[in-house]
Amino acid sequence: MRLAALLLLIAAPAFALDCAQTDLDFAGRRLLGKTENLCQSYAGKVVLVVNVASHCGFTPQYEGLEQLYKTYRDRGLVVLGFPSGQFLEQEFDDDKEIQKFCQANYGVSFPMFAKTEVKGAGAHPLFVRLKERTGEAPSWNFNKYLIGRDGKAVAHYGSRVKPGDPGLVRVIEAELAKPGS
């Protein structure tokens, strides 16, 4: 028992240090849920971060995002949806409405987070970091950021790149083929 406690004490700081080296070392509040540390929850996964909205011309991309998630989740892909109303206020104000819309219209099962600012002075630190790493801030809804298993941003894809785009899928598959951290 003492050995297990000692190993836990030794391993815990190393894990925290690893998270500090990633682009996921931030907290986010789940839609209608608790706050979670993104690195601790998704360490070793390939992560597709997407700023989403319910009333946008790109909203049907939810269907493709859900398909990507279902196709690759068993191999280590997770899609994270961050609703935002920063582009012509195309998102509901209420998290319950967002959840209801996503479930009723697209059967979204991938993790969704509370309504979030994704650009400007009030941007969530995750989006600030992703902009720093890729050189691209979200210019509209449904921008996509791919993060590798090592927790580092790999690429940015604009709104017009659909979730099933062969170039995006090719990069996702390449990242999934890499060994976990």
Active site residue ranges: 56
Nearest-angstrom CA–CA distance, 114 and 34? 10
Whole-angstrom Cα distance, residue 117 to residue 15? 28
Question: With the C-alpha atoms ordered 104, 143, 162, 91, is the resulting torsion angle positive or negative?
Answer: positive
d(CA 126, CA 24): 7
Is residue 124 within 8 A of residue 84, CB to CB? The reply is: no
Two tokens at 7? Answer: 């190993």
Q: What is the spatial order of strands in the sheet that 46-52 belongs to?
A: 77-83, 46-52, 144-147, 153-157
